Amino acid sequence: MFNFTIRRLILTIPTLLFISFVIFLIVKLSPSDPTGNLPLTIPAEVREQIREALGVNQPLIVQYLKWLQQFFWIEPLIYLENATGWDLGAGDATRLISYQTRSPVMDLIMQRMPQTLWVVGTAYVVGILIALPIGVISAYKQYSVFDQVGTFVSMVGFSVPPFFSGVVVIVLFSVIIPSDSFFWLPSIYDTTHRVTDWDSFVYQFRQMIMPVMVLALQITAQISRFTRASMLDNLNQDYVRTARAKGLRERTVVLLHVLRNSMIPVVTVIALGIPSIFGGAIITEQVFKVNGLGQLLILSIQGGDVPTVQTLTFIFAILIVLFNLIADILYGLLDPRIRYD
Amino acid sequence: MPRGDLSDQSADLSALQPVLDVQNLKTVFKTRSGEVHAVNSVSFDVKPGELLGVVGESGSGKSVTMMSLIGLLPSPPADVKDGRVIFDGVDLLKADAKTLRSVRGGKIGFVFQDPMTSLNPVFTVGFQIAEPLRKHMGLGKRAARARSVELLELVGIPDAARRLSDYPHQFSGGMRQRVMIAIALACDPKVLIADEPTTALDVTIQAQILELIKDLRQKLGMAIIWITHDLGVIAGIADRVVVMYGGQIVEQAPVKELFGNPQHPYTRALLETIPSVRGPREDKLNVIEGQPPIMGAAPTACPFRARCSFRHDRCDRENPVRRTVGPGHDAACFHEFSHGA
Ligand SMILES: Nc1ncnc2c1ncn2[C@@H]1O[C@H](COP(=O)(O)OP(=O)(O)O)[C@@H](O)[C@H]1O
Ligand SMILES: [Mg+2]
């Protein structure tokens, strides 16, 4: 297992290099002008100077290597310096700068990370916690009323996109319900809000309800269906009959023997879905005005902010590769039949 | 209980009180395409220490009968409609779930057909053997482990103590079946039900498992119900044989009597299908023409009549009940065969 992990980690290097190059090319080759958003009054020769200063006139390969160096070397070095207080000589190196805001891309990302992690991460956890019992019960009581309702709700969760369900809950809870009612919920996520006491905690809780609900609906639909299918697969296996023939309680049979086997693919799917916490909630963040990573990506695309788009996309790619590896390792840990070495 | 020549014992066996007494068992499956009457008024008993062979083509209801006995069939679709199963003075069909669980794996052990799928792939063999020990005998961790080692040694698994921490996939098919037998015998059952335990194994392994069972029977003295579709296997080990066809018992006799003086056309046909090693080589294997019936309703005529060469008019109108045709020997057929024919 250890050797396997090392081998796979080494293999991720060429994979990531290739992905980074493709991302770089796609973003670079898109017909977007970094000075396009500047006021029209700026004369052409000044624009040219700005382009020169941004380095966009250099050969592509030079720009690519510079970006790599900044991403993999200078930025980590700066974070290390800030964290430890040592002087590693990164102080005057040029950082990855956003065209739009003129501030370092990494700082932008770090500012927005907590909002995304809070809202989308909570939704993911909530979704899983709801999905697992639903999946287990619907499989065990296949075709029961519970299962039928579960199937219907999952269908809805699958087929209704968040930009629709988001608007529906906003209309319901922020518009129709009067704002002095207990059930009224804020439709805009206030990221400047700080939790300092009980009341501010309650407010934070309330403003998270709607975005979390919308996202969790999707996640619950997916994971509960998957859990159900996996449980059904296993409930019909011969070893379940053996477990019953031993005189074990039904609860032990289902929650120990069957569930332990069913969780192998489910855990893998959950691990593979984690990168989407960072990137997948783009639409939902937009609907509820959560200024997280998804919103940052959309604004940067609209503003032709090449460094930010490149860097964000590449970070999502790294997360996907990383969690693929983690899923593989988890699979090996959970299933004794799999031996990678 | 040491045993002498089996045939000498069969006489005094009949005087003993049965350890398991099944009367008029009926099991119906309700499926979307209608009912399947898999078991129709099956009655038989097993004496302490006796080895009862149950033979019949696949689909004749052998497995369903045994699973009905201790409530192992999922309901729906299965419905055990009628009958009594007296074990230890209790009717298992009326017993509550708790009593039933204490019988399963405790006083009645089960070995199933396919050892490759009958063990749970994600738990160690040690864990799976210890489960019934902890459950029924209340053993602690160490005592259960000691007993597990003993059991594995009993069923002939070398290096038992070390192999407890191995997973099922690390064992060969024959070894896995030995593990299954160890699990079934864990709590010193009074009855061991072995449902085609050698069918999935190759011939040399089959012979080893047969030897093992003979040996264990000598040592432990439990009653055994041995299900097979192979009369050849039964001849070597059984005291008494029950022949099943179309969900019914069509003939029942001590083993020598059955082979020497079969009184049901189906039994006769089965005996003819055994290829003989001695004597002139036959060009063609004997087969019973036609298909076993799938009983869509409770039978009102002899289920074997379509394939029978001794068919009477009466066979279409009436389902023959078992009548005594010799000492300890009964058959469900209207035709009278001359003795020894
Ligand atoms: N779950 C089920 N649903 C419907 N019919 C079944 C089911 N299980 C078994 N049967 C039917 O019961 C009959 C007896 O099956 P079984 O006892 O498994 O035969 P065998 O003698 O080979 O062990 C067969 O006709 C089979 O089709
Ligand atoms: Mg069977």
Rg, chain B, Cα only: 21
Q: Phi first, then psi: what are they for B147, rounded to 5°?
A: -65, -35
Say how many Å lie between the CA of residue B59 and the centre of ligand 1: 6
Sheet holding B78-87, edge to edge: B34-46, B20-31, B78-87, B90-91
* Longest pairwise C-alpha distance within chain B: 66
Q: What is the pLDDT of residue B277?
A: 60
A312, A293 in Cβ contact below 8 A? yes
**Which token pair is A286?**
């937009």
Rounded Cα distance, A328 and B6, in Å:
57
B28, B40 in Cβ contact below 8 A? no
User: Over pLDDT 90: what percentage of chain B?
Assistant: 55
Say how many Å lie between the CA of residue B270 and the centre of ligand 2: 17
Contacting residues for B145 by C-beta, under 8 A, at least 6 apart: B126, B130, B164
Could you state, in order of their start, the residue ranges of all structural domains in chain A? 36-98, 112-334
Rounded Cα distance, B20 and B222, in Å:
12
Q: Which residues of A touch B132 (CB under 8 A)?
A: 246-247
Rounded Cα distance, B25 and B81, in Å:
8
Q: Which atom in ligand 1 lies closest to the alpha carbon of residue B60?
A: 21
Task: Indicate the length of chain B as a whole number.
Answer: 341
Model pTM score: 0.86
Q: What is the pLDDT of residue B1?
A: 43
Average pLDDT over residues B236-254: 93
First to last CA, chain B: 37
Query: Mean pLDDT over all residues of chain B?
Result: 87
Determine the angle formed by the axes of helices A2-29 and A306-334, rounding to 10 degrees: 160
DSSP string, B158-169: TTHHHHTTS-GG
Rounded Cα distance, B117 and A299, in Å:
55
Q: Is B4 helix (H, G, I), strand (E, B) or coil?
A: coil
Say how many Å lie between the CA of residue B245 and the centre of ligand 2: 13
**Placement of tokens 């980074």 in the chain:** A20
**Which token pair is A267?**
């855990």
Q: Is residue B40 included in any domain, yes or no?
A: yes
Q: Is residue B215 included in any domain, yes or no?
A: yes
A54, A94 in Cβ contact below 8 A? no
pLDDT digits (tens, 9 = 90+) for B206-218: 888 888 998 899 8
Rounded Cα distance, A67 and B43, in Å:
83
How far does CA A133 lie from the centroid of its chain? 23
CATH of the domain at B110: 3.40.50.300
Average pLDDT over residues A303-322: 91
**Single-letter amino acid, residue B8:** D
**Placement of tokens 């070995």 in the chain:** B111
Q: What is the pLDDT of residue B276?
A: 65
Q: What is the pLDDT of residue A1?
A: 75
**Which token pair is B84?**
């009594």
Q: Which domain holds residue B243?
A: 20-260
Asked whether the predicted pLDDT for residue A111 surpasses 80, the reply is yes
B265, B310 in Cβ contact below 8 A? yes
Q: Phi first, then psi: what are they for A188, rounded to 5°?
A: -110, 130
Rounded Cα distance, B39 and A316, in Å:
60
**Single-letter amino acid, residue A28:** K
pLDDT digits (tens, 9 = 90+) for A45-75: 888 888 887 777 888 888 899 889 888 888 8
Instruction: Choose between A94 and A328: higher pLDDT.
Output: A328
Q: What is the pLDDT of residue A286?
A: 85
Distance from CA of A330 to the nearest CA of B (A): 14
Instruction: Choose between B197 and B275: higher pLDDT.
Output: B197
Distance from CA of B105 to the nearest CA of A (A): 4
Q: What is the pLDDT of residue B102?
A: 93
Q: What is the pLDDT of residue B2?
A: 46
| Angle ∠(A61,A63,A69) on CA atoms, nearest 5 | 100
Residue B247 CA: which ligand is closest?
A: 1
Q: What is the pLDDT of residue B341?
A: 46
Q: Phi first, then psi: what are they for A146, rounded to 5°?
A: -55, -45
Protein residue with its CA nearest to atom 2 in ligand 1:
B29
Say how many Å lie between the CA of residue B40 and the centre of ligand 1: 12
Protein residue with its CA nearest to atom 9 in ligand 1:
B64
Q: What is the pLDDT of residue B282?
A: 61
pLDDT digits (tens, 9 = 90+) for B286-315: 677 777 777 778 888 888 888 888 888 888
pLDDT digits (tens, 9 = 90+) for B172-186: 999 999 999 999 999
Rounded Cα distance, B123 and B165, in Å:
9
Q: ipTM of this predicted complex? A: 0.88
Cis status of the peptide bond prior to B327, with omega within 30 of 0: no
First to last CA, chain A: 6
Q: Is residue B339 included in any domain, yes or no?
A: no
B25, B42 in Cβ contact below 8 A? yes
Q: What is the pLDDT of residue A340?
A: 65
pLDDT digits (tens, 9 = 90+) for B105-161: 999 999 998 988 999 999 999 999 999 999 999 999 999 999 999 999 999 999 999
Beta partners for B54?
A: B227, B242
Rounded Cα distance, A138 and A150, in Å:
7
Residue B67 CA: which ligand is closest?
A: 1
pLDDT digits (tens, 9 = 90+) for A204-231: 999 999 999 999 998 999 999 999 999 9
Q: Is residue B76 included in any domain, yes or no?
A: yes
Q: Which residues of A touch B191 (CB under 8 A)?
A: none
Q: Is B335 exposed, middle or buried (0-12, 13-18, 19+ CB in 10 A)?
A: middle
Q: What is the pLDDT of residue B14?
A: 64
Q: Is residue B42 included in any domain, yes or no?
A: yes
Q: What is the pLDDT of residue B6?
A: 46
**Placement of tokens 């046909």 in the chain:** B269
Protein residue with its CA nearest to atom 23 in ligand 1:
B63
**DSSP-assigned letter for residue B91:** E
Asked whether the predicted pLDDT for residue A152 surpasses 60, the reply is yes
pLDDT digits (tens, 9 = 90+) for A250-283: 999 999 999 999 999 999 999 998 887 776 578 8
Asked if A247 and B103 come within 8 Å (Cβ–Cβ), the reply is yes
Q: Which residues of B touch A261 (CB under 8 A)?
A: 120-122
Q: Which atom in ligand 1 lies closest to the alpha carbon of residue B247?
A: 14
pLDDT digits (tens, 9 = 90+) for B2-53: 444 444 454 566 678 899 999 999 999 998 888 899 999 999 999 999 999 9
How far does CA A66 lie from the centroid of its chain? 27
Q: Is residue B66 included in any domain, yes or no?
A: yes
Q: Is residue B237 included in any domain, yes or no?
A: yes
The number of folded domains in chain B is: 1
The superfamily in CATH containing domain A112-334 is MetI-like (1.10.3720.10)
B139, B147 in Cβ contact below 8 A? yes
B127, B179 in Cβ contact below 8 A? no
Q: Is residue B112 included in any domain, yes or no?
A: yes
Average pLDDT over residues A303-311: 89
